[in-house]
Amino acid sequence: MTRSSLEALLAERPVLLADGATGTNLFAMGLEAGDPPEFWNDLHPDRIRALHQGFVDAGADIILTNSFGCNRRRLALHKAEGRTRELAEKAARLAREVADAAGRPVVVAGSVGPTGDLFAPLGPMTEEEAIDVFAEEIEGLKAGGADVAWIETMSAPEEIRAATAAAIRVGLPFTVTASFDTAGRTMMGLPPAALADLAAGLAQAPLAVGANCGVGASDLLASVGAMTEAHPEMAVVAKANCGIPRVDGDKVVYTGTPELMADYARLAIDTGCRIVGGCCGTSSGHLAAMRRAVDEHIRRARPSLDEIVAAVGPLQSPPPSAETRARGGRRRG
């Protein structure tokens, strides 16, 4: 079938459903802690196809490649920096195979995560070096058939600029999401509205901008709400974790139920998001409930923070101004 671009689907539909987690689902399939998931593109391609197929069967319009850490800086930790392009291309080809067999339009989004390095003057990485690092990965993703570079879980403005510049250099459309996990900001201090402002000023506009991962659905909904309010013209992405992580023996489990993720999806639509998906802990079962919610929901008025908290739980890392409401009562002195 003819490959569909993200831009075309956004023009056709009010809301798109992105997939769920990669890493936590691969751990459930047998990936060991400390092992790079990208090696499975070569060692266990059947398991990667099965992951993508589960999300497509659940109704995903967008599937992310297994390439989050597929850059030479991260792969160097496993002495595999020379395999960057190879593994990125294999990741995209596996997702492409599943998408092309779906019988309906499914976008292959090439996952591009951070380098793991701090940027100068705090660390060794420069923007110029980072552009080359990201371009190598994105070239592999493009060669494997990715429709878009899905730049995600970002924190530093310098790294966002570098990753987007790399996508522009390679000639692949892109999206940008950040993780607002530190009192309503990224770890490097970037607030949600500032990410949207940054995206608006890039040499080439992203197809979408938004938030992923973080610390909980309520926190993420507050973040994307700030973006849709500041830039209502932008397509905004919400890709929240499936509840809150809890340690259970030697495993980390996420507390979210399919019902909670369906409620979150409805609230994301009400907040103005055009792309809704799940991040850590989100299985195909959760995604199927989200598909039903997206299909059946009629957008309501923008929810207040109090309404968000009442529906999907308290903020886990609230900004100071929201702390009292997030905790459900008065602040203790």
Q: Binding-site residues, please?
A: 213, 279-280
Binding-site residue set for Zn(2+): 213, 279-280
> How many residues are given for the chain?
333
What SS3 state is found at 92? helix
Please give the full DSSP string across 215-264, using - where no structure is assigned: S-HHHHHHHHHHHHHH-TTS-EEEEE-SS-EEEETTEEEE---HHHHHHH
Taken in order 63, 16, 314, 156, is the CA torsion positive or negative?
positive
Which of 140, 148, 56, 138 shows the shortest CA–CA distance to 109? Answer: 148
Pairwise CA distance, residues 16 & 21, whole Å: 16
Pairwise CA distance, residues 60 & 107, whole Å: 9
Which of 298, 180, 183 shows the shortest CA–CA distance to 240? Answer: 180
The Cα angle at residue 180 between residues 260 and 18, in degrees rounded to 5: 50
Contact 72, 87 (CB under 8 A): no
Which of 295, 296, 315 shows the shortest CA–CA distance to 305? Answer: 315
What SS3 state is found at 85? helix
Which of 157, 150, 207 shows the shortest CA–CA distance to 19? Answer: 150
* Cα–Cα distances in angstroms (integers) from residue 98 to residues 102, 105, 266, 305, in the given order: 6, 11, 27, 38
Angle between helices 217-230 and 258-271 (to 10 degrees): 10
